[in-house]
Amino acid sequence: MDKAFINFKYVDAIARAGSIRRAAEALSITPSALNRRLISVEDELEVQIFERLPRGVRLNAAGEILIQHIRTQLSDFERVKSQIADLSGFRRGEVTIACSQALLPFFLPEQIDRYRTEHPMIQVCVLPRDRSAAEAALADFTADLAIVFEPIKISDFHPIITVRQEIHAVMDRSHPLARKTKLRLRDCLEYPLALPTKAYGVRWLFDQATEKRNQSILPLLESDSFEFLRMAVRNTDLITLQIEVGLAANETKKSVISRPIVELDIASGLLHFGHLRGRVLSVAAAKFATQLAQVLSERYESV
């Protein structure tokens, strides 16, 4: 185990756990030891970092400043290690990316596989996060990069590239609508719908489109899991929606297919790829970012 910054890592763990005892468990040490580490840090700074509550601890103002520094710091050190490993010849490091569910089945596995063939020593970590959680992961340095669809607030988010995403209807290959190459929204509304919950961007665009027509459509099936929705439409007349990046590249042999919906009926959304503003990426993360940005710009219309 890494001994550098051990105290800072402990403080970070306490801040994340919200309790010394829980943090101690996560770190596999006794609460008393961790407590003394914290007190020794506070003594050195001559300032309290956490306020002690009956149910745990919480960062105070000084702690907020410190934790921000600690996380910047730890991330910077990763970058330095990455740089050093880089000039030692063999590339090492790790990249963590927070992204919408839509990227999980096809896009990211393909890209990571391609990336790993060039940089086999690099460890890639994928965190599925909804729109707000992805930004939170960037903010607390849990993730280096994020790909989010239709984010709510985009403060502190530095976009590398933003691409437009058409909405597609996803259905069984034997579905009546499968014969058409392009669908109208009204075609879809004649069939039962299986949609993501309102937390997701696709659903939000769908609700906007139906509101505009003064139709309030309730889906027959709702789920947080895109994978479940994709599986649910098999062998039924259900229809679900998905953005381009979440579709398989080659559908000829799949049991589930997709058809684009004309843009007049339902607006296309924006997929944002970027990192925390002001953050300096490690060599590993920067290379991965470059690859993703290139692929996205090749495949989709960038704005």
Partner DNA sequence: ATTACTGATGCAAAAATTGGTACACTAAAC
Partner DNA sequence: GTTTAGTGTACCAATTTTTGCATCAGTAAT
Residues that bind DNA (CB under 7 A): 3, 19-22, 28-33, 35-40, 52, 54-57
Binding partner of residue 38 among DNA, a second copy, none, CB cut-off 5 to 8 Å per kind: DNA
Residue 56's binding partner, choosing from DNA, a second copy, none, with beta-carbon cut-off 5 to 8 A by kind? DNA
241: which residues sit within 8 A by CB, 6+ positions away? 167, 168, 169, 170, 193, 195, 196, 202, 203, 206, 261
Closer CB to DNA, 67 or 289, in the complex: 67
Q: How many residues bind a second copy (CB under 8 A)?
A: 26
List the single partner that 210 binds among a second copy, DNA, none, CB under 5 to 8 Å by kind: none
Q: Which is nearer to a second copy, 94 or 207 (CB)?
A: 94
Q: Provide the mask over 7-36, with x wherever binding to a second copy is found by CB under 8 A and - wherever it is not.
A: xx----------------------------
Minimum CB distance to DNA smaller for 9 or for 71: 9
CB nearer a second copy, residue 68 or residue 142: 68
37-66: contacts with a second copy (CB under 8 A):
40-41, 44-45, 47, 61-62, 65-66
- Looking at the Cβ atoms of 56 and 159, the one nearer to DNA is 56
Q: Give residues 65-84 in contact with a second copy (rule: CB under 8 A).
A: 65-66, 69, 72-73, 76-77, 80-81, 83-84
Does 280 bind a second copy (CB under 8 A)? Our answer is no
Instruction: Verify binding: residue 89, a second copy, rule CB under 8 A.
Output: no
Q: Which two tokens stand for residue 252?
A: 């000829």
Assess 298 for contact with a second copy (CB under 8 A): no
Extract long-range pairs of 212-216: CB within 8 Å, 24+ residues apart: 215/189
- Residue 73 binding: pick among a second copy, DNA, none (C-beta 5-8 Å cut-off by kind): a second copy
Closest to DNA by CB, 40 vs 197, is 40
Instruction: State the SS3 of the chain.
Output: CCCCCHHHHHHHHHHHHCCHHHHHHHHCCCHHHHHHHHHHHHHHHCCCCEEEECCEEEECHHHHHHHHHHHHHHHHHHHHHHHHHHHCCCCCEEEEEEECHHHCCCHHHHHHHHHHHHCCCEEEEEEECCHHHHHHHHHCCCCCEEEEECCCCCCCEEEEEEEEECEEEEEECCCHHHHCCCECHHHHHCCCEEEECCCCHHHHHHHHHHHHCCCCCCCCEEECCHHHHHHHCCCCCCEEEEEHHHCCCCCCCCCEEEEEECCCCCCCEEEEEEEECCCCCCHHHHHHHHHHHHHHHHHCCEC
CB of residue 24 vs DNA: minimum separation in angstroms? 8
- Give contact residues for a second copy (rule: CB under 8 A): 2-4, 7-8, 40-41, 44-45, 47, 61-62, 65-66, 69, 72-73, 76-77, 80-81, 83-85, 87-88
